[in-house]
Structure 1
Amino acid sequence: MPHEFVAAEEWDDKHILRSGDILFARSGATVGKTYLHTAGLDPAVFAGYCIRFRMGKDVLPSYVYGFTKTNAYASWVAAIQRPAGQPNINKEEFKSLEIPVPPIDVQRRLVAELDVARAERDRALAEAERLLGSIDQHVCRLLGLPDVPPPTQAAYAIRLGLAKQSATLSADYFHPERMTALRAIRQLSNAPLGQLVSFERQLVATPGSQRYIGLASVASHTGQLTDAVESAAGQCFAFEPQDVLYGRLRPYLNKVWLAAFAGVCSTEFHVMRVRDGSALLPAYLAVVMRTQLIVAQTKHMMTGNTHPRLANEDVVNLLIPLADMPTQQRIVDQATACQLEAARLRAHAETVWQQARERFEQQLLQGATA
């Protein structure tokens, strides 16, 4: 059947969000999640899997939104959602949600307390992101690399003869961003990745009792493991401590992990083992593989449309900047310090926010009136 479309100028109030509107996700993996619309983001419309509510004059939208961050609300969502097909809660069920409504001045005080905690959480998370983002700068500074500005041109052209140098006959292989990164690295001692590591592809039929690492298990850009618990029923690659796992699917996601233990992983990882540990630290390789110097290469080397990957024949040609062992160690130490401080800040942010939500809920349960 043909789809119906609504032109922007034909939107009416049933499509438009106003400041103070609250959206409730009614289906799917995000069922129960909420969003409070605020001024400054107009005009805006909402997705069909959301239900919009507008509050009456006796309740603050920000207070209701704060309530949806409590354990009481999470328990209600878990109890009321229907798992048939996919989790869902309908409009009438959301209407049945009972929310304690203290006097308006108490609502304002509770919201203000949450706002203070949210601001502290956001500051800590922003500082954590800044620290992790600074690792690239530390690597370039310690290696003596110049700044590599992003390309500014909207289009570029290359000669057909140059394009034929690529096995894929891809003009993107010679994108100015990739060429700029390669020129910067060539100012230093360097080597193709294939000369530095062996690619371990030891297949294991099933994970069994071994720890399984999937792509969702590795955070983008940070080299840290996430809380995701994944499993696999089919073949996996085995890996050892100090192996470097590099995500081949959508390499711009920048999933690189230095293995801290032995286990098995998705076959969407390249498992790399340093050939000569006396000349190249695995931890240094992991740090460098996460830098924009490498991403600027890989994002223009991947093949495939729906699931772009870095092919086995291309990953070996990644150009890696090298350094003496003391410099490698300084880079590893600096990156480790940034990662540890970022982890501390993130833990602090989570604690602050969790305590604020618990205090919000406790005061409601105790009938806060002052």
Structure 2
Amino acid sequence: MSAPTALPYVAHVARDEVIQHAAVRLVGVTKTFGSVTAVDDLDLEIRDGEFFSMLGPSGSGKTTVLRMIAGFEAPTSGRVFLGGVDVTREAPFNRDVNTVFQDYALFPHMDVLTNVEYGLRVKKVPRGERRERALAALDTVRLTGYADRRPTQLSGGQRQRVALARALVNRPKVLLLDEPLGALDLKLRREMQIELKQIQREVGITFCFVTHDQEEALTMSDRIAVFNHGRVEQVATPTELYEAPQSSFVAGFVGTSNLLTGADARAVFGREGTFSIRPEKVQLDEDAGGPPKASGVVQAVVYLGSVNHYLVELDGGSTLTVLRQNLHGTADQALGRRGERVDLTWADEHVIDLGTEAGSPAAGVPAEEGGIP
């Protein structure tokens, strides 16, 4: 890769007391590809030792940001700091980071131990030391006893752990993970989410994780940055993002949300604006603890095993999703409620006022990217 061109000095980066406490800091970073702006004037700080996730749909700029932190892409403008040091012009091998990719990129002709040792061999670490460090890394990722196996003899989850060990053995200041769980099946992916967070706590390294899966981000992260069209909509803890989204995009992308605006908002809330309410906060008539806030007809029931999603068309024409746990009754009873008239209610404190946004850019996000199933 060619070296980045000289970049103009950005005046507001001279906050040394702040920069030195951040594992990663991006200041005014923009990346364009021809006429396309992939990242737009981004300021972002990742704290030392935290599990930080960059969440967003395809094309939102999150992977481009990861590649600029790693040094695989040079910013068009702006600066990249690692541990308070400006690395904007530094090559990838001069940055104290390692990257784990989705495809793992293990060498099939090498056994597990040799794969893990590879980076240390390139750095000319003595054989005894690299063997000791590689075995310790395998122990960290719960693969003690697998050193002699080939990648083809491992499950998907085990290969993912080998790739993680290969990155950890170099003891990087920051570990970058580009959707490393994307190739795993759902059950294994959920197991690995817990494992990955436990490993991060044990090793104490800053993890920067890229994903389009909001469940992954909510499960593992200390903080999450939600990306949309090259910009960050909100940076917050998982709880803050879910309970107090700052935009209709965040409300619709992080978890499942009912978004009402325009005439729909006036019909339900009696005033202008954009409002959000989570499906689990809405109660059907028999669960209601107060007078109904809205009424309508059940148009569809989505049976999901432990829960059901009821799609209720309100008298005003809008549709709300209601989530109800299957504590009583059968699936047939739930599915039999199609066409039934119901009253809905909720607590006023569960309604999130998003101001006067014109609409919901996330309302049509498909289920696998955080929208309503």
TM-score range, shorter chain: under 0.3
Please identify which structure carries the higher strand content.
Answer: 2
Larger-Rg structure:
1
Q: TM-score, normalised by structure 2?
A: 0.24
Q: TM-score, normalised by structure 1?
A: 0.24
Please identify which structure carries the higher helix content.
Answer: 1
